[in-house]
A and B are shown apart, each in its own frame.
Chain A
Amino acid sequence: MAGSHTILEDDSALSRADQLFHKVESVLTLIGGIVIFLLVFMATANVLGRWIFSLPISGYIDWVEQSMAFFAFLGIAFTQREGGHIRMDMLVGHIHGRPLWVTELISTLLMLFITLILIAGSFLHFLRAYQIGDSSLDINLPTWPAKLVVPVALTILALRLLLQVWGYARAIKRGGDRPVAVPLIESAADVAAAEAESLIGGAVDSNSGRNES
């Protein structure tokens, strides 16, 4: 399910790394959000310009297409940190303690594996565009910056996944139900309530260190 999950914090090295990394991820996600904001302004200007002055923005489509990778990828690690990528919690919602952390460790390792493959593949994709000087159709924007965003964002995701591997491994070693630095499994109602909270606009900071649920 989508939405924010609780992530516990303490003063261990793991949690400090998590919090530090979270700051970087938040900034990247905000950049993605700002690009969306700019997209809205540009499309509005484009349509109004066309209607009122018959003067659309030159290269509008190229700009939109080149901007998309930024908001589609920059927040990918942040979303993973908060447990925001959709999954089926039929199984993991019913197991607890070590069996749960072992399952989570396995699925995180699987995700890390495909992420590493995609980093390599998308980097080659970027390199090709860079070397041949590939550009967009209408106003010849270079395509390599948008293509470079993918391996960069995925590398940050890979680091986040490594942190989670560390978190789950630590949880397996120590046992217990409330490890730090990994998204905790919550009931459908908790997830839904958190989602509603995000709509009503709890500030960003409230996502970290929530302990009440």
Chain B
Amino acid sequence: MTLFQTMAQMDSISIGLWVTGFMLLFVVIGVRVAFAAALAGFLGLLWIFSAKMGFERGFLVAMKMAGTIPHSKVSTLALSLIPTFILIGFLAYHAGLTRALFEAAKRWVGWLPGGMGVATVFSAAGFAAVSGASVATSAVFARIAIPEMLKLGYNKRFAAGVVAASGTLASLIPPSAILVIYAIIVEQDVGALLMAGFLPGAFSALVYGGLVIFLAMTNKNFGPPVRGFSWKQRFESLPGALPIFFVVGIIVVCIYGGVGTPTEAGSLGAFVILCMALYKGMRWKELKGALIETAKLTVMIFTIIWGVLLYVRFLGFADLPSAFSEWISGLDQSPMMTLVFILLAYAVLGMFMDAIGMLLLTLPVVYPAVIALNGGEGVSVADSAFGVTDVGCSIWFGIIVVKMAEFCLITPPIGLNCFVVAGVRPECSVQDVFRGVMPFFVADALTIAVLVAAPGIVLWLPGLMGFA
């Protein structure tokens, strides 16, 4: 039997496994993820159709099918939200929001033990919320907050650790592009996901804040408080930071109150930040730079979305996700144990790969398995394995994996946030930052455990909206 005959006679699941194997090989040798997925998807379609109708017709059908996907998958109303969120991020710096936020936070919470650390956590959380980019947030605050903390006699490792960790708060607090991407891949409501991230994000920020206070109280001379701001000075610091609250507020109001679509909320936010940036002296040169960077990041995200969806199209023919789901839910151990293993696998994967790429590549196969693990579509709370409905499970799992992906930004060996802080501040070595971030790392692991154990924290707000 020739190779071609053998290939033509394989069952669809074996084809799925081979093609997925090829895709992983492409990814490992460094093919850009979007194209690795698209190539694997096309080869898979070609394989399946050639087996049915011969190579020439099979090639034509696979090519036509693949050719429709980039345009049709990209022109979806829900996805139009992504560039608006990204634009907000690139304009936020020009609107002078970082300094304004840090200054306001310093005046309001500086009196606490480790006050500057607490101020860093909250201002970074606020800025991260609008910028949506963890790494960039860490870089910006490494420039602003670390010098101030060192001047006050803060422990170097502590200061660096706070900044590296605070950047990771970005992905859960709305607006979060990565949650939008998750929602689209798993076909869940974008608004519900964005709302679901709000409490866990705020919760993480509070945990970080509490941890800073605890560390400053238990270690002498770790982080002295900053006193002496009058109430007048405190209130004076607020207007500069207001756009942040406006952006988060408008998104929450639009989506929660149902008075606008997420894209409209994102656009309103971008519009306000734009006005602010123009007022602060941004001109065409900076705007042009911000537009090009926004377009570039948008293209990157859209490319990986259609690339992966091309692969997903093939998976649909290959039945691989359902086979994987059957296998996972048939395992002889508790579903919770399996879920923990899946999360650990993400922790390892996240050490080597960008969060967006990692989620998009794995979700098409892993997500149906997690839903099946919970008891499948339409399961009632009583019958489910994790005590949540199918919709609840998809929202809850989304928040946990996104938190997991952010967690990887501060884990050795390549926690990107730690490298960037060390890179921006020559006085801190990478080891310093990794040591300083250690307590936050432990706190994050506990936060994830709490979110896994108590889905209610995630599902309360979406529940009020009628989801979950």
Contact = CB atoms under 8 A, between A and B. Distances in A.
B296 interface: yes
Contact of A199 (B32, B68, B136): B136
Nearest to B430: A189
Interface in A56-83: 61, 64-66, 68-69, 71-76, 78-80, 82
17 contacts: A26-B292, A32-B298, A36-B83, A48-B268, A72-B303, A84-B300, A86-B33, A86-B300, A87-B27, A87-B357, A88-B33, A88-B353, A92-B30, A113-B39, A122-B70, A188-B419, A203-B289
Contacts of A190: 423
A155 interface: no
Which of A46, A78, A200 is packed against the most chain B CB atoms within 10 Å? Answer: A200
Interface in B24-69: 26-36, 38-39, 42, 63-68
B260 interface: yes
Given A43-B264, A201-B290, A204-B288, A114 B30 contact: no
B78 to A, nearest CB: 10
Contacts of B135: 192, 195-196
A125 B264 contact: no
A199 B142 CA distance: 14
A106 to B, nearest CB: 7
A113 B38 CA distance: 11
Given A79-B300, A125-B68, A68 B74 contact: yes
B296 A78 contact: yes
A28 to B, nearest CB: 9
B87 A121 contact: no
A123 interface: yes
Interface stretch (B89-97, B106-114, B145-153, B195-203): B89-97
Contact of B304 (A74, A85, A201): A85
Contacts of B74: 68-69, 72-73
A120 interface: yes
B267 interface: yes
B445 interface: no
Interface in A27-62: 29-30, 32-34, 36-37, 39-44, 46-48, 51, 61
A82 B36 CA distance: 18
Interface in A120-171: 120-125, 146-147, 149-150, 154
B133 interface: yes
Contacts of A89: 30
Question: Chain A: interface secondary structure?
Answer: helix
B80 A75 contact: no
A202 B90 CA distance: 11
A16 to B, nearest CB: 22
A92 B306 CA distance: 25
A43 B265 CA distance: 9
Interface of A: 1-2, 26, 29-30, 32-34, 36-37, 39-44, 46-48, 51, 61, 64-66, 68-69, 71-76, 78-80, 82, 84-92, 103-104, 106-107, 110-111, 113-115, 117-118, 120-125, 146-147, 149-150, 154, 187-193, 195-196, 198-204
A86 B357 contact: yes
- A-B pairs with the 7 shortest C-beta distances? A121-B67, A33-B291, A196-B139, A43-B267, A192-B420, A33-B295, A72-B302
Contact of B420 (A32, A87, A147, A196): A196
A31 B447 CA distance: 43
A58 B344 CA distance: 49
A199 B260 contact: no
A99 to B, nearest CB: 11
Given A32-B299, A71-B83, A64 B260 contact: no
B35 A64 contact: no
B67 A36 contact: no
Interface in B400-427: 414, 416-417, 419-420, 422-424
B356 A43 contact: no
Interface in B416-444: 416-417, 419-420, 422-424, 430
Given A86-B32, A117-B63, A199 B70 contact: no
Given A104-B30, A192-B416, A201 B289 contact: yes
